[in-house]
Amino acid sequence: MVGDGNSPPPWRVPGKRPKLGPIQGDPVTTHPNLDALTPRQRALRTAVIQEFKAKKVKKFLEKQVEHLNTNRQVVEGIKFLFDEHGRPPRNAPLEDIVEQRRHIEYQIRWFEALLLELKNRLVKVKEIEDYAFEALGAEPLDEQ
């Protein structure tokens, strides 16, 4: 490196052994040098990548389906326990949150109806109980 003050000394120059792979350039997939490939080869390369992605997605879905099938009921049960405040995660889709709100409102209405029905039954049972004790001329058991 004579005459060039900025050049590294010869022992600081990396080797120049040639590579073997058909696709060179920046080796990371950000910018592989595809110029040396024919359009057909580029298409074939894209097909390999697509096939790989499809396998990956298929595997992911299989895992998710298996997980959901096994744990669906458990997941339903602990849906509101995802964080310490009992709230769904911050990145939950809005549609899910609306659906959950409707589901809870439905459950509240259902429980309210059930409660009303039980109260009515209780009133009727109490009336029967009162008549019975009146007929016997005795005090109800829990008032003795």
Tell me the closest approach of the beta carbon of residue 25 to another protein, in angstroms: 9
Stretch that binds another protein, among 28-36, 85-93, 108-116, 123-131 (CB under 8 A): 28-36
Name the CA radius of gyration of the chain, rounded: 37
Which of residues 45, 79, 88, 133 is near another protein by CB under 8 A? 45
Residues numbered 55 to 114 that lie near another protein (CB under 8 A) are 55-56
H helical segments located in the chain:
39-77, 94-136
Distance, first Cα to last Cα, the chain: 114
Contact 26, 35 (CB under 8 A): no
| 47 versus 132: smaller Cβ distance to another protein | 47
CA distance 87 to 79: 9
Residues forming contacts to another protein in the complex (CB under 8 A) are: 8, 11-23, 26-30, 32, 41, 44-45, 47-49, 52-53, 55-56
